[in-house]
């Protein structure tokens, strides 16, 4: 997500950290800032916008300094403004802090600090962290001990980097979850959120683990746990070239983003589940408004539309709330019938899709309540919706959407659980569902275990002239997304529809050897699906069936069986099938030598009609 850079040593520190941030630019950001040692003080310069804005503020002759920390922010809490940009300072102004990730209990900590007289400049959880650490520092301990004490008060998934005006050659870094890497030089030490920012300077790298605190000086690094016990670290030689380092060692951003999904699940759920397994979504409408909603319209394009289809299934099954899903381009010109008590939900990764934005403006003109499910904070859709739930998936670079889809479905699922709580829906087992959600990131990781098998399946069917994607219920909406992935990056025509529709026409397209991918996670319709499998096999089709690990019936009648973990929840089981389908599209495109991250004719953000 956000970029972190740090340097202590004989070079011009400001120049080094700005160069490091530049090397992290590919990850996307919307503001940037630096804190550097200036005489006996720390000077902070920060600005909304691109790095050129920050460089403009610093002037053409960069200040000379031997310690600096810098940050490029991709907004999650608070808009991308100068004030919300990092670094942030504590109450005394002695320390500067940059941060990636989320502090879940920041509101509680902020209230405590406000009661003690602390004054805050920004809306960020980062500034709260600076104040928590600053308060410990005021008691006279060294900076690293203040960080350790402060961190013990914070909950969440984050990484911090802190410097103090009083300790001229020391940077303290702590990792709870978000990545941090340290580069060892000769009489100099570097720090970054990602390896590409270190490679021009050093290839001796330490990857900090969760729960570790590192103290960087020009002489090197000392690592402890959060209680101060020393920890042995093992530097390695990073032999990646810069391009593959940007992709985290993966050949394409798409594969990197597929593999990021377990972490995306954690990010998406962060701060939204209570210890007693309930859902908290502070950002949505009041309970009174949520109780009043009589109908939901979900409006989106492409992959986001498919996330909407899955949500329709959940809203209608779980909440008994009538829900329609529209393509934005159809909705805006379709003179839609809108109940004044309805809720319009706009799903968008970029938040800039022209048709979705126009549809949103139409709803606003008709005074319909609007909710955004958006990834990019500060985007037009996020700004213009009445309320927004951010998907918290981090920047998505590959044109084909993968992790954003998973985060969209999960966010919509969280919203439906919140609605179920507010509307006191009998029969919705919130606690069990939340417990399953907590483990979902691990299940997504387990679903990756089938990667080699899928690579083989992709190699076998790469020359297919048509691939079917079929399912029933929730699996049917997933099959649309699986088909879209294959056609957009491997350029193979697909036919996707509910399995029960086959006999009404598409069955005519089945020929010997044609692969048919079945999503088959729902036990309630498994028998029906077994008949569909037999139908296509009888015409020479090859059935590739994705089902849950506990299934004992489909294996016997299937040509290729792919298993995903049983999560204990119907919707989550169906969502898991996206992992093998994304991998299937990826490896098919790779086997065909396609341009995976930038497929022909497509753009990441469709800002024109």
Active site residues: 2, 604
Q: Would you call the peptide bond into 87 cis, given omega within 30 degrees of 0 as the criterion?
A: yes
> Does 124 help bind ligand F6R (rule: CB under 6 A)?
no
> Does 303 help bind ligand F6R (rule: CB under 6 A)?
yes
Out of 51, 109, 279, 304, the only residue in the binding site for ligand F6R (CB under 6 A) is 304
Span 490-509, contacts to ligand F6R by CB under 6 A: none
> Does 353 help bind ligand F6R (rule: CB under 6 A)?
yes
Q: Nearest approach, Cβ of 381 to ligand F6R (angstroms)?
A: 8
Which region among 165-173, 347-355, 532-540, 578-586 touches ligand F6R (by CB under 6 A)? 347-355
> Does 547 help bind ligand F6R (rule: CB under 6 A)?
no
Which region among 2-10, 118-126, 141-149, 299-307 touches ligand F6R (by CB under 6 A)? 299-307
Distance CA 103, CA 101 (A): 7
In the bound state with ligand F6R, the residue whose beta carbon lies nearer, of 209 and 330, is: 330
Distance CA 408, CA 398 (A): 16
Distance CA 552, CA 566 (A): 13
Residue 230 DSSP one-character state = B
In the bound state with ligand F6R, the residue whose beta carbon lies nearer, of 113 and 388, is: 388
Q: Nearest approach, Cβ of 603 to ligand F6R (angstroms)?
A: 8
Q: Nearest approach, Cβ of 259 to ligand F6R (angstroms)?
A: 17
Q: How many DSSP H helices and E strands does the chain contain?
A: 21, 24
Which region among 233-241, 273-281, 344-352, 442-450 touches ligand F6R (by CB under 6 A)? 344-352
Strands (DSSP E) found in 118-170: 156-164
In the bound state with ligand F6R, the residue whose beta carbon lies nearer, of 113 and 373, is: 373
Which region among 151-159, 331-339, 345-353, 457-465 touches ligand F6R (by CB under 6 A)? 345-353
In the bound state with ligand F6R, the residue whose beta carbon lies nearer, of 445 and 605, is: 605
> What are the residues facing 519 on neighbouring strands?
471, 546
Residue 443 sits at the vertex; the CA angle it makes with 440 and 448, to the nearest 5 degrees, is 135
Out of 301, 309, 314, 536, the only residue in the binding site for ligand F6R (CB under 6 A) is 301
Cβ 342 vs Cβ 354: under 8 Å: no
Out of 76, 212, 329, 349, the only residue in the binding site for ligand F6R (CB under 6 A) is 349
Cβ 29 vs Cβ 3: under 8 Å: yes
- Name the closest residue to ligand F6R (Cβ): 302
Which region among 221-229, 301-309, 514-522, 584-592 touches ligand F6R (by CB under 6 A)? 301-309
Q: Nearest approach, Cβ of 263 to ligand F6R (angstroms)?
A: 20
Span 437-496, contacts to ligand F6R by CB under 6 A: 484, 488
In the bound state with ligand F6R, the residue whose beta carbon lies nearer, of 398 and 532, is: 398
Distance CA 73, CA 126 (A): 11
In the bound state with ligand F6R, the residue whose beta carbon lies nearer, of 34 and 301, is: 301
Q: Nearest approach, Cβ of 396 to ligand F6R (angstroms)?
A: 8
Four-residue CA torsion sign, 279, 282, 284, 286: positive
Listing from the earlier edge strand, what are the strands of the sheet with 494-498? 494-498, 467-471, 515-519, 542-548, 560-564
In the bound state with ligand F6R, the residue whose beta carbon lies nearer, of 203 and 604, is: 604
Whose tokens are 């500060």? That residue is 378
Q: Nearest approach, Cβ of 279 to ligand F6R (angstroms)?
A: 23
The enclosing H or E element of 459 equals helix 451-461
Q: Nearest approach, Cβ of 298 to ligand F6R (angstroms)?
A: 12
Judged by CB under 6 A, how many residues of this single chain contact ligand F6R? 15
Q: Nearest approach, Cβ of 251 to ligand F6R (angstroms)?
A: 18
Which region among 107-115, 116-124, 278-286, 346-354 touches ligand F6R (by CB under 6 A)? 346-354
Listing from the earlier edge strand, what are the strands of the sheet with 181-184? 41-48, 31-38, 67-73, 3-8, 189-192, 181-184, 204-207, 236-237
Span 386-415, contacts to ligand F6R by CB under 6 A: 400-401
First to last CA, the chain: 29
> What are the residues facing 388 on neighbouring strands?
372
Which region among 123-131, 238-246, 296-304, 524-532 touches ligand F6R (by CB under 6 A)? 296-304
> Does 597 help bind ligand F6R (rule: CB under 6 A)?
no
Q: Nearest approach, Cβ of 80 to ligand F6R (angstroms)?
A: 18
- Number of Cβ within 10 Å of residue 385's Cβ equals 23
The enclosing H or E element of 357 equals helix 354-365
Residue 189 sits at the vertex; the CA angle it makes with 185 and 195, to the nearest 5 degrees, is 85
Whose tokens are 């050897």? That residue is 513
Q: Nearest approach, Cβ of 370 to ligand F6R (angstroms)?
A: 15
> Does 350 help bind ligand F6R (rule: CB under 6 A)?
yes
The enclosing H or E element of 111 equals helix 106-115
Which region among 8-16, 167-175, 295-303, 534-542 touches ligand F6R (by CB under 6 A)? 295-303
**Comparing C-alpha atoms, which of 67, 16, 62 is closest to residue 40?**
67
Residue 459 sits at the vertex; the CA angle it makes with 457 and 463, to the nearest 5 degrees, is 110
> Does 589 help bind ligand F6R (rule: CB under 6 A)?
no
In the bound state with ligand F6R, the residue whose beta carbon lies nearer, of 72 and 391, is: 391
In the bound state with ligand F6R, the residue whose beta carbon lies nearer, of 147 and 304, is: 304
> What are the residues facing 471 on neighbouring strands?
498, 519
**Comparing C-alpha atoms, which of 23, 16, 62, 68 is closest to residue 42?**
68
Distance CA 28, CA 395 (A): 6
> Does 606 help bind ligand F6R (rule: CB under 6 A)?
yes
> Does 348 help bind ligand F6R (rule: CB under 6 A)?
yes
**Comparing C-alpha atoms, which of 303, 479, 278 is closest to residue 408?**
303
β-pairing, 494-498 with 467-471? parallel
Site residues, ligand F6R (CB under 6 A): 301-304, 348-350, 353, 356, 400-401, 484, 488, 605-606
């Amino acid at each position: 997500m956000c970029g972190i850079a740090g340097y202590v040593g004989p070079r011009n520190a400001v120049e080094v950290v700005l160069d490091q941030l530049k090397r992290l630019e590919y990850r996307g950001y919307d503001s940037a800032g630096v804190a550097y040692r200036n005489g006996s003080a720390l000077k902070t310069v920060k600005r909304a916008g691109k790095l050129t804005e920050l460089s403009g503020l610093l002037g053409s002759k960069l200040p000379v300094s031997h310690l600096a920390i810098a940050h490029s922010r991709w907004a999650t809490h608070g808009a991308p403004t100068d004030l919300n940009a990092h670094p942030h300072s504590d109450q005394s102004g002695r320390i500067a802090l940059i941060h990636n990730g989320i502090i879940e209990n920041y509101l509680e900590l902020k209230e405590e600090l406000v009661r003690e007289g602390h004054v805050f400049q920004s809306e960020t959880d980062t500034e709260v962290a600076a104040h928590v650490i600053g308060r410990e520092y005021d008691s006279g301990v060294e900076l690293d001990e203040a960080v350790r004490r402060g961190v013990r008060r914070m909950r969440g998934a984050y990484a911090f980097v802190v410097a103090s005006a009083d300790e001229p050659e020391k940077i303290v870094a702590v990792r709870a979850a978000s990545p941090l890497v340290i580069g060892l030089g000769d009489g100099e030490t570097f720090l970054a959120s990602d390896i590409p920012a270190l490679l021009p300077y050093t290839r001796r790298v330490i990857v900090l683990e969760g729960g570790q605190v590192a103290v960087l000086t020009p002489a090197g690094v000392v690592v402890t746990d959060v209680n101060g016990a020393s920890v042995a670290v093992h530097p390695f030689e990073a032999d990646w070239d810069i391009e593959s380092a940007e992709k985290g060692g993966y050949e394409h951003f798409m594969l990197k983003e597929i593999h990021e999904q377990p972490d995306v699940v954690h990010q998406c759920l962060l701060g939204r589940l209570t210890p007693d397994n309930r859902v908290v979504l502070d950002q949505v409408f009041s309970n009174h408004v949520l109780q009043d909603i009589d109908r939901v319209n979900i409006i989106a394009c492409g992959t986001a539309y498919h996330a909407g289809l899955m949500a329709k299934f959940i809203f209608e099954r779980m909440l008994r709330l009538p829900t329609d899903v529209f393509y934005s381009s159809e909705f805006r010109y379709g003179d839609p019938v809108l109940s004044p008590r309805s809720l319009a939900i706009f799903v968008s990764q970029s938040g800039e899709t022209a048709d979705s934005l126009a549809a949103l403006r139409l709803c606003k003109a008709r005074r319909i309540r609007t909710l955004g499910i958006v990834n990019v904070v500060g985007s037009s859709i996020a700004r213009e919706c009445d309320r927004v739930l951010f998907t918290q998936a981090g920047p998505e670079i590959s044109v084909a959407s993968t992790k954003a889809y998973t985060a969209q479905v999960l966010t919509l699922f969280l919203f439906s659980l919140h609605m179920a709580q507010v509307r006191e829906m009998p029969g919705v087992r919130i606690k069990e569902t939340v417990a399953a959600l907590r483990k979902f990131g691990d299940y997504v990781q387990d679903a990756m275990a089938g990667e080699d098998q899928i690579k083989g399946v992709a190699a076998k069917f790469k020359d297919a002239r048509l691939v079917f994607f079929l399912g029933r219920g929730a699996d049917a909406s997933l099959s649309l997304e699986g088909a879209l992935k294959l056609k957009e990056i491997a350029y193979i025509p697909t036919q996707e529809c509910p399995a029960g529709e086959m006999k009404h026409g598409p069955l005519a397209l089945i020929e010997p050897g044609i692969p048919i991918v079945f999503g088959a996670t729902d036990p309630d319709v498994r028998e029906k699906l077994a008949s569909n499998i037999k139908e296509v096999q009888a015409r020479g089709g090859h059935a590739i069936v994705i089902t849950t690990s506990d299934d004992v019936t489909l294996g016997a009648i299937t040509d290729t069986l792919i298993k995903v973990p049983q999560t204990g929840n119907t919707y989550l089981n169906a969502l898991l099938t996206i992992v093998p389908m994304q991998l299937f599209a990826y490896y098919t495109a790779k086997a065909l030598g396609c341009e995976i991250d930038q497929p022909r004719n497509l753009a990441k953000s469709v800002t024109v009609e």
